[in-house]
Copies of this chain bind each other. A is one copy, B any other.
Amino acid sequence: MLNQSTALDLTFQALADPARRAMLERLAQGPAAVSELAQPLTMSLPAVLQHLTVLENAGLVTSAKAGRVRTCQIAGPALTLAEGWLNARRAEWEARFDRLEEYLNDIKDGESHG
């Protein structure tokens, strides 16, 4: 098992490319073959395969081959790791913002009270 930092590295890195996000957007609608993922992308099939590898290494996508067609699926829980990190940062930031707001109110009260 990878440590959390490396998992986040791989996840965010995987999400940082528009072709890979397009593949995930397609897969969020349901499973698809490699050639189906490749179809809207303006690049060679080997390039698509490399992107697929990145997505699989990040644990965002799984795939299995039946006959000569490889079917890809989005991996449910994987996105939640990234989502969780972002949520945590926003929660911290908002908490700090709230405290700041409270502090500013205190100052204002202090001024009006003398």
Contacts and interface: CB of A to CB of B under 8 A. Distances in A.
A28 interface: yes
Contacts of A89: 24-25, 28, 74, 79
Contacts of A28: 89, 92-93, 96
Contacts of A83: 83, 86-87, 90
* This chain's copy number in the assembly: 2
A21 B28 CA distance: 27
A74 B90 CA distance: 10
27 contacts: A8-B16, A8-B18, A8-B21, A9-B16, A9-B18, A12-B15, A13-B13, A13-B16, A15-B82, A15-B85, A16-B16, A21-B85, A24-B89, A25-B89, A28-B89, A28-B93, A29-B92, A74-B93, A76-B93, A76-B97, A79-B86, A79-B93, A80-B90, A83-B83, A83-B86, A83-B87, A83-B90
6 residue pairs, one from A and one from B, having the closest CB atoms = A12-B16, A28-B92, A13-B16, A12-B15, A28-B93, A83-B86
